[in-house]
Structure 1
Amino acid sequence: MLTTPIPVFDGHNDVLLRLRRGGGEDPVKRFLEGEEAGHIDLPRAKAGGLAGGLCAIYIPLPSMTKDANGDFPTPTQADALNETLAMARLLFDIEARSQGAVTICRSAADIRRSIEAGSFAAVVHIEGAEAVAADLDALYVLHQAGLRTLGPVWSRPNVFAYGVPFRYPSSPDIGPGLTDAGRGLIRACNELKIMVDLSHMNDAGFWDIAKISQAPLVASHSNVHALCPHSRNLTDRQLDAIKDTGGLVGINFGVLFLRDDGVKDAATSLDLLVRHVAYVADRIGIDRVALGSDFDGTTIPAEMKDAAGLPRLIEALRRHGFSDAELTKITHENWVSVLERTWGA
């Protein structure tokens, strides 16, 4: 038994969006000093052993009205770029005012140092590349500013790909794959050593990336389609492809992606989350599974409540039979390893 809490490095959170949209008091202060709303702030992260993670920049929907194809509307590139810069600045401000308690990490070595020092290790991630035009100029500038991981799409079309709509029950085989601009984006991400996130890709887009990308295939916050037939979840064939490239799956805590009945019920047991972790570990190996909570972006099991409740999940995993060495891999080592292999030394 470990005598100290196992640190968790998490594959996905939407805390920047929550802070930006929350209104009221200074969002930096709300994060650093804590609040009741949402899932993550610094005090709750420390209480639960959340040592860091990929901090998503996601551009809100211009409207909740879907188009004739049933797709959510896509923001303009200009609007998306403005919002992306605003959320990136928010993260930079959090780091600047944290007195060392938050560190923006640009390498795996940065993450390791931050975890060792007890500083929240934040990685800049873009969820849906609407801020980037087909010329990719913004991609290169954002990389210089600290961008290290990117999902080409959220669940809506853009100039790069279609994105998988939210459907249950449904296969992820919905719509076309990468556009010519999308293929250029993947090649540029490989050149810059930006991790490409597959979590909102549809089936065609997934396989287009698998053909092009020279990096490990990673889905930062996705679950098992065989256990929950939601369009956002990964098929066994996709899991096998992730294994073949030495990639990774971060298990999403969202109840919609855990349950086999498609019901959005916060009373969902943590045992269902453990079931998805175990399935991936059994099928593609303990080195290929990690956590991708989707904190502040989805409804999670009430038993956990927020980041402070992470020890409850770790205990549930331990009860299932995962050893402390395996838990260390699931909670942080696998993420640091795949990022190091993607980013380089």
Structure 2
Amino acid sequence: MEFVDLHCDTIKAVADGDGDFPSGQGLHIGLPQLADANVALQVFACFVMATGKPEQDYKSCKEYLAAIDDLVASHSEQLSLVRSKADLQTLVEARSKGRRLTGIVKAIEGAVPLQGRVDLLDEFYQDGVRLLTIAWDDNEFCGTVFGSGGGLTALGEQLIQRCNELGVVVDVSHASDEAFWNIAEITDKPFVASHSNARSVCANERNLNDEMIREIADRGGMIGLALGSGFICPEYYVHDKQNRIRIIEGFKNGTMTNEKAERLSEEALGSLPPAQIGQLIEHIRHFINVGGEDCLGFGSDFDGVTGLIADASGIGVLPGIAAEMVKSGLSQKVVEKICSGNALRFFGEQLA
């Protein structure tokens, strides 16, 4: 079984010195884990929280993108950039001959680095960016679930249109409900929710309601299963939400550090039982019932989320989840679609 993951924050952790990619130490995703889990394609999201200094936010994103290039150049036998349909085909052919090669797709999580300028998307496209999560928190383009809850701005409408023109996949995870429907109305291409689960199973506002699931599926889009317990388990989510609000507010007002955030999360969530794989399978069955078997994949949020699903220390958990999916009665064909087939087909259709 091979796997595709639509979202991780690993490159920020690597570039910020919080983990060692070649050994995998300190990370949910490192070079050994990608090989051991047989990951065919990994989307690396460059996340930049707004600092109030737009030029610095832009610079930070450029540094993360350059760090991806450095990783691929340093480990060219194991990693390859995927920027086009041709790149993807080359990857698939190499893997069909037995080579354990992982393709890397560059993404930006939150349009903060664009500094409110739609034209900067062209520059990031030239840097290899092929997926854009429109907003993590409110920005000049879009309101978010945990922000104002507002929709797209006029600039946001222009940004969606430019994404379509260039061939940048639009990602609605973190966008508000209103913005979701604004995007659905404007975009003429399939779009994704790279790391969002089913709101009917766990009432996390970051999850998708049934109408959203149907819309993405009917449009030929993709949904990535997030592996944080707060996305999966209703009881865990109640505590996770309170903790997250406190941490985000601290980062925004400058009183929070990564170390402090980790300590607060451990205090708030450390004694809670994690979500179980069986609960994730409830989400999977709900997605299949509502949207069908062709819209679903993984969007782990590894190296960007605390409180992982049970028995997970990183991406190495994916084969175990696949095995449990089969044990639960899902067919091998459906499991293979969710693990990699749907996402490989999607990128094969959407990349230029």
User: CA offset at residue 78 of structure 1?
Assistant: 1.0
What is aligned with 1:135?
117
State whether structure 2 residue 202 is matched by structure 1 residue 228. yes
108 and 325 in structure 1: CA distance in 2 versus 1, 3 angstrom threshold:
farther
Identity value in percent? 29
Q: What CA deviation, in whole Å up to 9, does each residue of 1:108-156 have, x standing for no partner?
A: 44234325132111100000011113332321011011110001100x1
Distance 1:269 1:135, change over 3 A: closer
The 1-side partners of 2:54 and 2:176 are apart by 22
Match of 1:9 among 4, 9, 12: 4
Residue identity matched to 1:9: V
Runs of 4+ in 1 over 6 A off after TM superposition: none
CA distance in 1, matches of 2:217, 2:79: 32
Ranges in structure 2 where 5+ consecutive residues have no aligned partner: 241-271
Does the aligned pair in 1 maintain the 2:195–2:226 contact within 8 Å? yes
In the alignment, which residue of structure 1 is the partner of 2:282? 275
Q: Does 1:18 align with 2:13?
A: yes
Q: What is the letter of the counterpart of residue 103 of structure 2?
A: A
In structure 1, the residue matched to 2:327 is: 319
Q: Are the equivalent residues in 1 in contact too, given 2:38–2:100 (CA < 8 A)?
A: no
Deviation at 1:306, TM superposition (A): 1.2
State the one-letter code of the partner of 1:138. L
Q: CA deviation at 1:226?
A: 0.4
- 1:207 corresponds to which of 181, 187, 190: 181
1:243 deviates by 1.9
Match of 2:164 in 1: 190
Asked if the contact 1:268–1:301 (Cα under 8 Å) also holds between the matched residues in 2, the reply is yes
Q: Which amino acid in the other structure matches residue 226 of structure 2?
A: N
**Which range moves more in the overlay, 258-267 or 315-324?**
258-267
Any idea what SS the aligned residue of 1:229 has?
coil
Aligned to 1:254: 228
Q: 2:304 aligns with which of 281, 297, 302?
A: 297
What is the TM-score of this pair, normalised by structure 1? 0.86
Structure 1 CA distance, aligned partners of 2:140 and 2:53?
10
Aligned equivalents of 1:190 and 1:61: distance in 2?
Answer: 25
Contact 1:125 1:148 in 2 (8 A): yes
Higher helix share: 2
Question: Retained in 2: the 8 A contact 1:46–1:308?
Answer: no
Q: Deviation of residue 38 (structure 1)?
A: 2.2
- Check conservation: 2:24, 2:30, Cα contact below 8 A: yes
Aligned letter for 2:193? Answer: A
* Correspondence for 1:89 among 62, 66, 87: 66
Of residues 327, 331, 335, the one that matches 2:343 is: 335
Indicate how the Cα distance of structure 1 residues 90 and 283 shifts in structure 2: closer, same or farther if over 3 A, else same: same
Shift of 1:339: 2.1
Deviates more, 1:34-43 or 1:207-216: 34-43
Hey, what does 1:49 align to over in structure 2? 38
Residues 11, 250 of structure 1: 8 Å contact kept: yes
Amino acid at match of 2:16: R
The answer for the alignment partner of 1:69 in structure 2 is none
Distance in 2 (CA, whole Å) between partners of 1:76 and 1:84 is 13
Q: Equivalent residue of 1:31, what SS?
A: coil
Among 230, 233, 241, the residue aligned to 2:215? 241
* 2-structure distance, mates of 1:215, 1:285: 19
Aligned runs of 1:176-187 on 2, under 5 Å?
176-187=150-161
Identify the residue that residue 39 of structure 1 maps to in structure 2.
Answer: 28
Contact 1:221 1:291 in 2 (8 A): yes
> Which residue type is aligned with residue 105 of structure 1?
V
The answer as to whether partners of 2:58 and 2:115 remain within 8 angstroms in 1 is: no
Q: Cα distance, 1:290 vs. partner?
A: 0.8
More divergent stretch after superposition (292-301 vs 89-98)? 292-301
Letter in 1 for 2:121: L
